Amino acid sequence: MSNPVQVFTAEQIDAAVAELDPFAAITNGFIDFSTGKVTVPPVGELLLPERRGELHIKCGAVRNDWCYVVKLASGFYGNPVLGLPSGNGLMLVFSQATGELLAVLLDQGRLTKLRTAVAGAVVARQLAPSGVEHIGLIGTGAQARLQAHWLKRVVACRRIALWGRSPERVEACAADLAADGFTVTVFESPEDVVMASDLVVTTTSSSQPLIPASAMHSRLHVTAMGSDVPHKREMEPRALGRANVVVADSRVQCRLRGEISHALREGAVDDRAVVELGDVLAGRAVGRQRDSDITVADLTGVAVQDIAIAKAVLEVLAPESVRRERQRCQSARP
């Protein structure tokens, strides 16, 4: 007999998130992915350019685990004018033993934002130079705020160089960052932000490069977050060519989307020189070797992050159900 599907609201999910530390789960997820333990099909996407909207469908499974996860995440970039968040979505958790739907996480895109921000902190801990003096944020949306918040876990710096297109959104973002304990300086261009910073995170939906190659300087690390579909880009391809190390969250996925895809097409980066984040985290590939290095991480968002955050949340919200499903999956193994 089927178990009833458990449906959790955004408010219940928020309460669960307050009780967990997703840092280790996301880190281990990347390592498992690069070890070959995770099945991740190509990303599905529906683009609605006339609405400035897009839908991403990501799914995956850790082999011999108790569940698999399907995530739907949308971005409608005109929503802030309407007083609505640009991101939305939900996650569906299924049994690996039977394929039954176990849980619906109506997170409204919050878990996607969280797992993306945590990934930025995981990367910064591994690739940022020592003694970061200025964090550069390019973009002023919810992800910029979350990136700064989670970077507090891994760097002591509390000075932010900020750029955004809208003066009103820049002002609002700066106020929120100040409330989170940062000193914020607003700059007139993305290039100025990069030149003033040694750790930069890009969080825009730009389809035109914002960071020129000329801005790449010694002791710099850039985590590029925004380029998650083929037409988006935040860095000049030659900017990646200036890096000592280029890291992909998924080498396969970054050949098709993200900053690396543009750099490969234009011959600015050799595919053989790109290393995968999970391999760097596990010590199988070399990341930053010297403070003077330039490093770039291209994070296009991998389904293993969704698996990790969904499982962590359900461990809090429904621990007994998770325990029973684990037992059922173990007994069902051939």
Instruction: Tell whether the model's pLDDT for residue 1 goes beyond 60.
Output: no
Instruction: Tell whether the model's pLDDT for residue 94 goes beyond 80.
Output: yes
**Does the structural domain 117-298 have CATH classification 3.40.1440.10?**
no
DSSP state of 58: E
Q: In the structure, what pLDDT confidence band is assigned to residue 2 with cuts at 50, 70 and 90?
A: low
Over residues 290-307, the pLDDT tens digits come to 999 999 999 999 999 999
pLDDT reported for residue 229: 81
Q: In the structure, what pLDDT confidence band is assigned to residue 117 with cuts at 50, 70 and 90?
A: very high
Please check whether residue 240 is in contact with residue 219, taking contact to mean a CB–CB distance below 8 angstroms: no
Higher-confidence residue: 87 or 236? 236
Fold of the CATH domain 6-111+303-331? ornithine cyclodeaminase, domain 1 (3.30.1780)
Q: Mean of the per-residue pLDDT values for the chain?
A: 95
| Distance, CA of 56 to CA of 257 (rounded, Å) | 13
Element (H, E) at 293: none
Q: Is 113 exposed, middle or buried (0-12, 13-18, 19+ CB in 10 A)?
A: buried
Please check whether residue 93 is in contact with residue 310, taking contact to mean a CB–CB distance below 8 angstroms: yes
Domain ranges of the chain: 6-111+303-331, 117-298
Element (H, E) at 268: none
Global pTM? 0.93
pLDDT reported for residue 332: 72
Q: In the structure, what pLDDT confidence band is assigned to residue 4 with cuts at 50, 70 and 90?
A: confident
pLDDT reported for residue 227: 86
Closest of 292, 309, 151 to residue 223, by C-alpha: 151
